[in-house]
Structures are given as C-alpha cells and as structure tokens.
Amino acid sequence: MENNIIELINQRASCRNYSDKKIPDDVLDKLFDAACKAPSGGGFQNYSIIKVTDQSIKDKLVPLCRNQNFISKAPVSLVFCIDFRKIKKIQEIEPFPFKEVDKFMNFWMSVLDTAISAQTLALAAESFGLKSVYIGNIINNMEKVSDVLNLPDYVFPSIMLTLGYPKNNPKPSKKFSKEIIVYENTYNEISTKKLNEAYEDKYSSWKMKPKDKFLKLIYKTSKDYKNENFAQTCIDFIKDKQLISPYQYWFGCYYLDDDFMSLEEYVDFMREKGFNWI
C-alpha cells in the first residue's frame, strides 16, 4: 500500500488537456467520499464542494480565471468553498457560543481545510487514472464567482480543481528537493548560492526569450513595484542573460495587481459574507 501511495504522489502532474471521456458517477462518488474523510480543524469540516458540470457555468468561470479555456473543456470542475453556513444553521436549533466567523484563526484554518480536502481528492483521482490541476485564480474574482455559483452568506470560494481523463499523460514538473524544503528542529538558512543552483536546476528546461512585449511589461511592473532604477536593473539582467527567468515572467508579466481584487474589495466582500474577523 505504501509503495502505491508514493507512486501516485510521484506520478501526479497538473493537466490542462482533457479528453471527452465522461467520469463515471460511481468514481466521482468515491472521490467525494475520500475528500470528506480528509482531516479538518476541530473535525468541523467547515467546507463545501461545488461540482460544476453545467457547460454554461463552466463557460462563465473561464473569464473569471484568467481566461483559461481548458476550464470549459474539463468534464468536471470542483470549487472548494469555506462554509460556516451549515454550523450556523445547526446553531438555530442547538444553542452554543459560536464566534468562529469573528476569529482570523478559524478563517485561516478553514482555508487549510479546503486545501487538505482538495489534495485528498486529487490523489484519490490519480488512482483512477484521472488528472487534475488547481485553479487558485478562483479567488481573483471571488465576488463574481460567488454570484455564478449562488453562494450564500458565510460561504465563499477558496480553490478550484479541474478534473478529467488526460488526452496524453503530462509529465510531473521538477520540484525543489527535500534538501531545500526540509529542516530539522529549527529553520536553517540556505546559502544564496545553493538556493540559486537548486532554482536553476528546477527550471532547467525553461527557455523564454526576451521579447519586447515582455520586456516592456516587466519594466512597467518593476517600476511600479519600486522605481525606474530597479526596473532598468531587471531589464539589464535579462538582456545580459538573454533569457527571461520564471520569476521575472510570473511576477513581472503574469501575476499582476490589475488581475486581482484589491485588499479593500476582499475585506468588503468578506464582511458582506458575514466574516467579521477583519
């Protein structure tokens, strides 16, 4: 059993290209059973899973998640939601001092609970030959996503997992090794040299040429982040290497502030949903 589990973990890879093959209902039921057996804070299971199969709803989620079109083509998308509504409803019948929505600790714990449940399901899916990919972008427009999924008070989206049979088996991406990730007893600072070597090895297959459209965007993002001198330093570094690195692309071109709700919008939305820990 141990070897089978380790093998599933080693072969897991994000998939964005699914076949049209339908996932049998009995397989989905087993995956949901697995997800519901995941550990949770206090054992409360303050989460819900929205199974999205309706094509019109999948199509609406695409523009809310960076226009990733494979979302509309995946047989199933699963939206894992923080959910304090069920426990609030029980409180209507059984009196108990429930203040969980007023505590940041419980909000944070419920975010972890959704992730643990999602990962439990993702690994179970591997055992049936299914592949998946996480869509963290679901929180970029959580207010609009909540409207699309008709999420009530005390419920809002945390993470999404698309699921299906792959058209071709994707290869697992390189990861940092345990020498970079694992420390014993206390945090041990890794030398910059060793970390950079691991970083370059992890992304050894990355080959992004410094096209003008990317350089202009990286310059603008870097200038907004700090100043013109820093922006020019970034561009000079890229031109010297003749390569745009993964971090330079993701933080300079992809994960941009304009694509996310502002801090004020997140705060207002959480208050609107009944979470008062802010």
What value does the mean pLDDT take over residues 203-225?
96
- Is residue 244 pLDDT above 80, yes or no? yes
Q: pLDDT at position 103, please?
A: 85
Q: pLDDT at position 278, please?
A: 76
CB atoms within 10 A of CB 191: 8
The answer to whether residue 205 sits within a structural domain is yes
Under the banding of pLDDT at 50, 70 and 90, the label for residue 1 is: very low
Q: pLDDT at position 189, please?
A: 92
Q: pLDDT at position 106, please?
A: 87
81 and 47 in contact (C-beta within 8 Å)? yes
The answer to whether residue 176 sits within a structural domain is no
Distance of CA 120 to the CA centre of its chain: 14
78 and 161 in contact (C-beta within 8 Å)? yes
Please tell me whether residues 153 and 230 are part of one structural domain: no
Task: Report the share of the chain in percent with pLDDT over 70.
Answer: 99
CB atoms within 10 A of CB 172: 12
Please tell me whether residues 39 and 93 are part of one structural domain: yes
CB atoms within 10 A of CB 180: 16
The CB-based long-range contact list for 198-205 (8 Å cut-off, 24+ gap) reads 201/174, 202/174, 202/175, 202/176, 203/174, 203/245, 203/246, 204/174, 205/174
Residue span of the structural domain in which 161 resides: 2-171
Residues β-bridged to residue 162: 77, 133
What value does the mean pLDDT take over residues 100-112?
88
Q: pLDDT at position 3, please?
A: 63
Q: pLDDT at position 165, please?
A: 97
Task: Report the share of the chain in percent with pLDDT over 90.
Answer: 85
Please tell me whether residues 163 and 197 are part of one structural domain: no
The answer to whether residue 185 sits within a structural domain is no
37 and 116 in contact (C-beta within 8 Å)? no
Number of domains within the chain: 2
The type of residue at 97 is P
What value does the mean pLDDT take over residues 106-124?
95
- Is residue 142 pLDDT above 70, yes or no? yes
What value does the mean pLDDT take over residues 236-248?
96
d(C-alpha 261, C-alpha 179), whole Å: 36
84 and 155 in contact (C-beta within 8 Å)? yes
123 and 167 in contact (C-beta within 8 Å)? no
| CATH code of the domain in which 8 resides | 3.40.109.10
Q: pLDDT at position 169, please?
A: 87
Please tell me whether residues 89 and 195 are part of one structural domain: no
What value does the mean pLDDT take over residues 180-201?
95
| Residues of the chain by 3-state class (helix, strand, coil), percent to 5 | 55, 10, 35
Please tell me whether residues 91 and 147 are part of one structural domain: yes
The answer to whether residue 277 sits within a structural domain is no
What value does the mean pLDDT take over residues 160-186?
95
Q: Which of 171, 200, 235 is the last residue of a domain?
A: 171
- Is residue 262 pLDDT above 90, yes or no? no
Under the banding of pLDDT at 50, 70 and 90, the label for residue 102 is: confident
Residues 57-94 as b or e (16 or more Cβ within 10 Å = b): bbebbeebbeebebbbbbbbbbbbbbbbbebbeeeeee
234 and 199 in contact (C-beta within 8 Å)? no
Q: pLDDT at position 261, please?
A: 87
- Mean pLDDT (the chain, rounded): 94
Polymer length in residues for the chain = 278
Secondary structure (3-state) at 48: strand
What value does the mean pLDDT take over residues 41-47?
94
Better-scored residue on pLDDT, 225 or 2: 225
Secondary structure (3-state) at 155: strand
What value does the mean pLDDT take over residues 196-209?
96
- Is residue 2 pLDDT above 80, yes or no? no
